[in-house]
Each structure stands twice: as C-alpha cells, then as structure tokens.
C-alpha cells in the first residue's frame, strides 16, 4: 500500500506510475486501493476481501448455521476460515492450501496440494469427524487459454465434490468456485445426484469483471451405502 500515492479529490487513491510497473499491475494496484471491500477487510481485520463473499453466500443460503465440521479447500490467506470461526465457533475446521497460511486459532491447516493422492485422507484425519460443509475457493492458475483454464478449474471442483461425498453428513453442503458459465452439464448432473438443491450464485463482493461464480449444493443425500 505504501507504494500508492494519495489522490487529491474525493479521497480516491491514485497510483503513481512507476516506470518499471506494467500497465496491468498498475491497474490491479489502482483497483485494490479503491476497492471498498479491501478497505473494509482491512478495517474489520479480515485477511482477505474474499471473506465477504462467504459472508454474503452465508446470508443467502444459511451455510454456517449449526455446522459442526467444516473443510476449507484453498484456505490461504484465511479470510473464509476467519468467517467460519466467527459464525460457528464450536465447529471443527480443517483447511488445505498449496501456500503457507498463518495459523488460525481452532483451525487445522495443511500445506499441500489437494490433488495429491494423500490429501483427502490427511484432511479427514485433521478434521477428526464428519463435515456439514465443504468449501472450495480453489482456483487453478490460469494460463489464459479459456478451454484449459476451464478444464483445470473443473478438475478441482470435481475432486472437491468427490471428497465432499466421502466426508459430508447427510444434509450437508458443498460450495465451490467455478468459472463463467458455471458448472457444466455433467457436473451439474453429478451434483444433483448427490444434493437436493444446486444453485449458482455470484455474491456482490465477487468482482463484476471476474469470471468467477459459486456453485452451491445443499442437502447432501448421503452415501449410497447409507441410503
Ligand atoms: C482465492 S484463494 C482463497 C482465498 C480464501 N478463501 C480466503 O478467504 O482467504 C485460492 C487458493 O486456492 C489455492 N489452491 C489452488 N489450487 C490448489 C490445490 N490444488 N491445492 C491446494 N490449494 C490450492 C491457492 O493457493 C489459493 O491460495
């Protein structure tokens, strides 16, 4: 933040153009400095503006009410986990990320690739019981090739779904970030096979220009052997 200069009028932050900064990173910095959610997150002590996306999804879908076990896929830097801790202070919470996440009181954090074969088992161990909610804010690193980006992201959503069906209690929910266009037909069919309701949502805190959406699947029907 210290790199940005104060704008004169209307309290808007203006970014001094450094010779070495690319136009796109100047745009990113400008947007970041003027983003009300970034300011709010700083003022309210959230590690990321993403926290407000979960707050808004929770307001609309009642995701965190009464949950006793929550898994946070793609937990870093930890905004969603902070919201989970506030709204469900007694819940067991486990999260995973490729990146290091500063500790959060009451949250078990693994630093590893969720796509690693060992990850689901390690996460279940860390959670220590069934889950009522599996959250995935994971995003694949985009390469700019729309089809490749879509496939990679869908791979993460599908892996999250498989994990959710193994760990959720009947009635539980799975929420995952998807790209524009939402989950494809195959994935929606698969979600509907396991959950009573499947909806797409773009919370107000999700930037209008970004292609991200969330798929919200609620009312887990239970594993087949339990049915
Ligand atoms: C948008 S951020 C999550 C923000 C978080 N919800 C918050 O509120 O702070 C997405 C995260 O997903 C993680 N991620 C992407 N692919 C992953 C993978 N295969 N395994 C674990 N984490 C992954 C990234 O490292 C990144 O930290």
Is the preceding peptide bond at 33 cis, omega within 30 degrees of 0?
Answer: no
3-state secondary structure of 179: coil
113 carries a ligand binding annotation: yes
pLDDT of residue 7: 38
Q: Which residues contact 33 (CB under 8 A, 6 or more apart)?
A: 1, 4, 13, 15
Distance (angstroms) between ligand 1 centre and the Cα of 121 equals 19
28 carries a ligand binding annotation: no
Are 186 and 131 contacting, i.e. CB atoms less than 8 angstroms apart? no
Distance (angstroms) between ligand 1 centre and the Cα of 186 equals 24
**CA gap 221, 66 in Å, rounded:** 18
Report the atom number in ligand 1 closest to the C-alpha of 156: 19
80 carries a ligand binding annotation: yes
Residue of 9, 42, 87, 177 with catalytic role: 177
Report the atom number in ligand 1 closest to the C-alpha of 82: 8
pTM of the model: 0.88
Alpha helices (H) along the chain: 23-34, 36-44, 51-61, 79-87, 119-127, 146-167, 185-194
Give me the tens of pLDDT residue by residue for the chain, a chain 227 residues long: 333 333 334 456 666 656 667 777 777 777 777 889 999 999 999 999 999 999 999 999 999 999 999 999 999 999 999 999 999 999 999 999 999 999 999 999 999 999 999 999 999 999 999 999 999 999 888 788 878 888 888 999 999 999 999 999 999 999 999 987 666 788 999 999 999 999 999 999 998 888 889 999 999 999 876 65
Domains and CATH numbers, the chain: 5-34 (no CATH), 51-226 (3.40.50.150)
Q: Which of 138, 143, 179 to mutate to test the pocket of ligand 1 (most atoms within 8 A of CB)?
A: 138
Q: Is 65 a catalytic residue?
A: no
Distance (angstroms) between ligand 1 centre and the Cα of 139 equals 6
pLDDT of residue 226: 61
Of the candidates 168, 107, 161, 111, the residue with the CA atom closest to the CA atom of residue 136: 161
The residue length of the chain stands at 227
């Amino acid at each position: 933040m210290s790199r940005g200069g104060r704008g004169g009028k209307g309290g808007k932050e203006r970014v001094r153009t450094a010779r070495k900064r690319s136009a796109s990173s100047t745009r990113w910095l400008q947007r970041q400095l003027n983003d009300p959610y970034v300011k709010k997150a700083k003022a309210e002590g959230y590690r990321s503006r993403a926290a407000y996306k979960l707050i808004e999804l929770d307001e609309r879908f009642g995701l965190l009410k009464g949950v006793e076990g929550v898994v946070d896929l793609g937990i870093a830097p930890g905004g969603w986990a902070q919201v989970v801790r506030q709204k469900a202070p007694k819940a067991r919470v486990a999260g995973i990320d490729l990146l290091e996440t500063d500790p959060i009181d009451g949250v078990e954090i693994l630093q590893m690739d969720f796509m690693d074969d060992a990850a689901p088992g390690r996460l279940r161990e860390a959670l220590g019981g069934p889950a009522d909610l599996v959250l995935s804010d994971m995003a694949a690193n985009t390469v700019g090739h729309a089809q490749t980006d879509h496939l990679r992201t869908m791979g993460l959503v599908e892996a999250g779904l498989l994990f959710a069906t193994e760990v959720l209690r009947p009635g539980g929910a799975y929420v995952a970030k998807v790209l524009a266009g939402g989950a494809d037909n195959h994935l929606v069919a698969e979600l509907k096979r396991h959950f009573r309701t499947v909806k797409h949502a773009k919370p107000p805190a999700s930037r209008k220009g970004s292609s991200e959406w969330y798929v919200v699947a609620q009312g887990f029907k239970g594993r087949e052997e339990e049915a």
